[in-house]
């Protein structure tokens, strides 16, 4: 559905997800883990997956083109994220993106998952996103709408406060000594 609308996506998949390809009059069946194991060392490059609590989250990334292309404007890829500390710890993604999309852009898009999860966790902890015991769709929809509106308001308020605080001088710091 997303591809028919021209909507790019990065979708996480299991390492044992079954992939079937038509190659030279026969079917080939494999999985992302097997495909990643066959990659050469030069296929991997380091890219950040966004900001984390301790700074940039750096991973090694690689991509493998998937055989079917809907048209010349779009490409399908298998994107692989590998931990730099534990090379056997990998994550796999299906990608549908405009032709010529850089690997660093795909890595950044895959890394947005953490940002979304943090937003949901904050909405659960601070605003009661998970405290809805509605018995109808209308009640659930109203609860979710109010929580998301409150979350958006607080995010905007926090951004505005950070912006104004960054521009103010620190009034609690002692004045620099005056040279005689």
H/E element holding 94? strand 90-98
- How far apart CA 152 and CA 146 sit, in angstroms, is 10
Looking at residue 175, its pLDDT comes to 58
Q: What pTM was estimated for this model as a whole?
A: 0.68
pLDDT at position 170 is 60
- Please report, in tens digits, the pLDDT of each residue of the chain (180 residues total): 888 888 888 888 888 888 777 767 778 788 888 888 888 888 898 888 877 767 788 899 999 988 666 578 899 888 999 988 898 889 899 889 998 899 899 988 888 877 777 788 888 888 888 888 878 989 888 988 998 899 889 889 988 888 888 776 666 655 555 555
Beta bridge partners of 77: 65, 95
Domain coordinates in residue numbering, the chain = 9-105, 128-166
Task: Pick the closest to residue 80 from 133, 30, 42, 43 (CA basis).
Answer: 43
Angle between helices 137-167 and 103-127 (to 10 degrees): 110
Tell me, what's the pLDDT at 168? 67
Instruction: Quote the DSSP letter at residue 177.
Output: P
């Amino acid at each position: 559905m997303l591809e028919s609308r021209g909507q790019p996506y990065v979708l996480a998949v299991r390492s044992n997800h079954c992939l079937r390809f038509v190659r030279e009059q026969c079917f080939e069946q494999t999985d992302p883990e097997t495909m990643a194991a066959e990659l050469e060392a030069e296929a991997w490059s380091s890219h950040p997956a966004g900001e984390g609590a301790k700074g940039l989250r750096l991973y090694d990334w690689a991509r493998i083109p998937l055989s079917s292309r809907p048209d010349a404007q779009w490409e399908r890829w298998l994107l692989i994220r590998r931990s730099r500390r534990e090379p056997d710890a990998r994550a796999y993604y299906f990608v549908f993106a405009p032709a010529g999309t850089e690997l660093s852009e795909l890595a950044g898009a895959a890394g947005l998952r953490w940002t979304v999860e943090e937003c949901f966790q904050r909405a659960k902890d601070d605003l009661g996103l998970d405290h809805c015991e509605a018995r109808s769709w209308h009640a659930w929809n109203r609860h979710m709408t109010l929580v998301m509106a409150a979350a958006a308001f607080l995010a905007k308020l926090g951004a505005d406060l950070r912006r104004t605080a960054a521009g103010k001088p620190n009034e609690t710091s002692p004045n620099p000594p005056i040279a005689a």
